[in-house]
């Protein structure tokens, strides 16, 4: 069974995501604010929490306590949690530059705009993002085994899905 992490402060969406996890047979690690999420990340990094490491983190950008990009950054800095697929979500319109900035700061693999797509489409987008990150990590590990230490495989280009174009996911290069 997979485990996914969600940090969402809007009660209805939080409840919906937790219900979807249950329907999809996914264990959830869930928080309603950034402060609790950061504390959990730090505890996991110190070995203070015995948990199944989530393969995905769904992070709202604007949260009380710490923002989604701050949480993503903390995940990427944590030796135990650094390989988690990170998907940022927001209901606020971001300029293309703001999108790039929050994606870069969080080390995110995708950015989705609210309202989120239908459950089946949402699940497909998340799974595609998880698979793409797993392929990239596998390629990086393979490259590390054969290449000099200073060479590094770049991470996959993050995806952005706008409110009106949930069926299409755009890579960062397509946005430019």
Quote the pLDDT of residue 170: 39
Give the pTM: 0.82
Quote the pLDDT of residue 48: 74
Quote the pLDDT of residue 156: 59
Q: Does pLDDT of 120 surpass 50?
A: yes
- Sorted by sequence, the CB contacts under 8 Å of residue 120 that are 6+ apart come out as none
Quote the pLDDT of residue 160: 63
Tell me the H-state helices in 2-150.
11-23, 34-45, 68-77, 96-106, 119-146
- C-alpha 119/C-alpha 37 separation (Å) is 24
Which helix (H) or strand (E) segment holds residue 175: the answer is helix 172-175
Quote the pLDDT of residue 147: 59
Q: Which domains does the chain have, with CATH numbers?
A: 3-144+151-175 (3.40.50.2300)
Highest average pLDDT, of 19-23, 144-148, 165-169, comes from: 19-23
Percent of the chain with pLDDT over 70: 82
Q: Does pLDDT of 110 surpass 80?
A: yes
């Amino acid at each position: 069974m997979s485990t996914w992490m969600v940090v969402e402060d809007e009660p209805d969406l939080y409840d919906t995501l937790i219900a979807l996890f249950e329907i999809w047979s996914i264990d959830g690690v869930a928080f309603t604010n950034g402060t609790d999420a950061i504390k959990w990340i730090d505890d996991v990094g110190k070995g203070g929490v015995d948990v199944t490491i989530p393969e995905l983190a769904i992070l709202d950008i604007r949260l009380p306590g710490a923002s989604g990009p701050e949480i993503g950054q903390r995940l990427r800095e944590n030796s135990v949690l650094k390989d988690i697929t990170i998907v940022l979500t927001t209901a606020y319109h971001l300029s293309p530059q703001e999108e790039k900035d929050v994606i870069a700061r969080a080390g995110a693999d995708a950015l989705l705009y609210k309202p989120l797509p239908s459950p089946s489409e949402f699940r497909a987008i998340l799974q595609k993002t998880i698979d793409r990150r797993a392929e990239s990590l596998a390629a990086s590990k393979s490259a590390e085994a054969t290449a000099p230490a200073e060479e590094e495989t770049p991470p996959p280009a993050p995806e952005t899905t706008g409110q009106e174009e949930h069926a299409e996911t755009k890579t960062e290069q397509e946005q430019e």
